[in-house]
Amino acid sequence: MTMKLSRKEVEHVAFLSRLALNEREAEEFTRQFNQMFEQFEKLNELDTSQVEPTAHVLQMQNILRQDSVRASLPVDEVLANAPDREDGYFSVPRIME
């Protein structure tokens, strides 16, 4: 099997998604990703040169709303799932700028 996606790329994607992979998982996902790529190779055999790219499966368009204000959640509910809070703010590990 030719590898479409290297293990390094899988680790990079995992990092971007903030997922910590152990040795076994990194191997496993690399193998699975490559299997998926193979499936797509199969689909690529179809000639789609005359088909417009599909951005959405629904044919609907312009689902828009009026610019009007509706009530927001009470601050306590907004913060209910926060791991940590401080004076009405979400508190997160310090971000260096």
Partner 1 sequence: MIMEYEVVIGMEIHAQLLTKSKLFCGCSTEFGAEPNSQCCPICLGFPGSLPMMNRKAVDHIITTALALNCTVARESIFARKNYFYPDLPKAYQISQDDQPLGEKGYLDIMDSSRRIRIRRIHLEEDAGKLVHTEGEPFSLVDYNRGGASLMEIVTEPDIRSAEEAAAYITELRSILRYIGVCDGNMEEGSLRCEPNISLRLRGAKEFGVKVELKNINSIRAVQRGVAYEVERQSQILNEGGTVIQETRRWDEANGVTISMRSKEEAHDYRYFPEADLVRVVVDNAWLNRMAAALPELPQARRERFIAAYGLPAYDAGVLTESKEIGDFFDKVAAISHDYKAVSNWIMGELMRLLNETGQSLEQTHMTPEVLAEIIALVDKGAINLKSAKEVFEESFRTGKAPSKIVADRGMTQISDEAALSGIIEDVIAANSKVAEDFQAGKEAALGFLVGQVMKETRGQANPAIVNKLLREKL
Give whichever of 45 and 97 is closer to partner 1, judged by the CB atom. Answer: 97
- Shortest spacing between CB 70 and partner 1, in angstroms: 3
67 binds partner 1 (CB under 8 A): yes
Contact (Cβ atoms closer than 8 angstroms) between residue 27 and residue 7: yes
Site for partner 1 in 32-51 (CB under 8 A): none
Label residues 60-94 b or e (16+ Cβ within 10 Å = b): eeeeeeeeeeeeeeeeeeebeeeeeeeeeeeeeee
The site for partner 1 (CB under 8 A) is made up of: 12, 16-18, 55-58, 60-73, 75, 78-79, 84, 86-97
